[in-house]
Structure 1
Amino acid sequence: MVIAPNLQLDTDVWVKYSWEEFLAIADKISHLKAKLYYHQQYMRIEMSPVGPLHARQNSIISKVISLYATVKNIRIVELVNASFRQLNKSEFQPDLAYYIGTEFELPPRTNIPINLKEFSPPRLVVEIGASSVNDDLGAKRLLYENAGTEEYWVIDVNKDDVIAFSISEGRSGEIQESLVLPKLAISLVETALKRSQTEDDGAITRWLLQTFS
């Protein structure tokens, strides 16, 4: 697939590149709406979805997490499509990323990838996908295990499913209740997604506030 003048690259597959080649490609396509991942000498390019399905799911997940943190008085900062870089090692750009708790230091307000040698990784990352779900559960899961995140959610937009993993010491296991957002049931997040099929944002927000309170 041609995604830039004189630059033909495959998307939605992992292709082997050196770190230097990855950086050169990332620089050339920085103006495009593309998400970049790099792990164990392999790069993946994903063109950002533009349809309402992905956008709606993204909005609902963001709403659930932000409202829960607000009601429970949890310090939290959300980043949408931010890039995180481990120099000479990896890069990832999740749909949603969250710094949570009292100890984190926010990266500076720039448009360059967040350097994970200077700043801690986000505690929670969320990937929202349709055709990419198998990859989200596979290669990306390994990437986030190695990156030092503490919790990883995969949202299957075709089924309104949320598969959540807790990560510790480079290994992950499925959970039914968030650990970084204590006592937030994953089943409630799925219910919010299902309600979004028939309810507007106001109705969902009122339901969430009543439930969390």
Structure 2
Amino acid sequence: MVNPVPILQTIALETWIPAAWEDFLTFADDPTLVGGRFYYDQGEMRIEMSPLGSAHGQDNSIVLTVVNLYATVKAIPIKSFINTTFRKAGLREFQPDLAFYMGEPGEAVTFPARSNAAVDLNEFDPPSLVIEIVASSLEDDCTRKQPLYQRAGIREYWVVDVNVSQVIAVEPSKATQLRRSQVLPGLEIDWVDSALKRAQTEDDGAVSRWFLGLLTQ
């Protein structure tokens, strides 16, 4: 008996290729590919299977900490999602490194229910903020994924370039770069850049204490 060719050897990875939604689901819902990240938009799919290095993991952690600390100090309702799949069946799917639902201080916010399935964007609103942590796919994350997030209704999108410890923040609906967050009012993007740079030589606790001091001074 001849063994079947491994499924991922039949397609190109780390690039956008034409695909019907049903074909995309063959990969996205395959339990043997749980380590991959899957995107679908405008009749094209992208599958990312590259291993993630220490820089990716550390920057992911620092950005998550900064966003949650800022929301805590400013009493902004927030719920964080790490490597979560968001799906609008038949149209698009995305799996950012980080995603956040948030609202105004004192406002009740509806978050997606706990589940092991993809978040159904026909049932729930999209996240307010999505963040991609990137090292080698910067061009794709800044160009091809930006209109995906615009069509998905994402209010703010950050690309964290781990090579230079810098955040590129945009408002997808206008494709304009931001230096101050709109979903986290008052948060300077430069502060996030500074936290990323400090994290190269300081432990997470030291970075958190510096950031809290910045917010409470």
TM-score range, shorter chain: over 0.9
| Residue 133 of structure 2, aligned match among 116, 121, 128 | 128
SS at match of 2:175: strand
CA gap 1:182/1:50 in 2 versus in 1, 3 angstroms:
same
- 1:1-213 correspondence runs (5 A): 4=6, 8-28=10-30, 31-47=33-49, 49-101=51-103, 102-167=107-172, 170-213=173-216
Aligned-residue identity in percent:
46
Quote the offset at 1:49 in angstroms: 3.4
User: How many residue pairs are counted as aligned between the two chains?
Assistant: 210
The runs of 5 or more residues in structure 1 that have no matched partner are none
Residue 6 and residue 97 in structure 1: after superposition, are their counterparts in 2 closer, same or farther (change >3 A)?
A: closer
Task: Calculate the aligned-residue CA RMSD, in Å.
Answer: 1.8
The aligned amino acid for 1:130 is: A
User: SS where residue 177 of structure 1 aligns?
Assistant: coil
Displacement after TM superposition at 1:161 (Å): 1.3
Can you list the C-alpha shifts for 1:169-209, whole angstroms capped at 9, x where unaligned?
Answer: x3321110001000100001000000011101111111011
Residue 105 (structure 1) shift: 1.4
Q: What is the CA–CA distance in structure 2 between the aligned matches of 1:66 and 1:99, rounded to whole Å?
A: 11
1:52-80 Cα shifts (integer Å, max 9, x gaps): 11000000100100100011111000000
Contact map agreement 1:95 1:127 (CA 8 A) in 2: yes
Q: Offset at 1:110?
A: 1.1
Task: State the one-letter code of the partner of 2:189.
Answer: I
Residues 3, 9 of structure 1: 8 Å contact kept:
no
Task: Give the C-alpha shift of residue 48 in structure 1.
Answer: 5.2
Alignment TM-score, normalising by the size of structure 2: 0.92
Question: Which residues of structure 2 form unaligned runs of 5+?
Answer: none
- Higher mean C-alpha displacement, 63-72 vs 95-104: 95-104
Task: Give distance in 2, aligned partners of 1:133 and 1:113.
Answer: 25
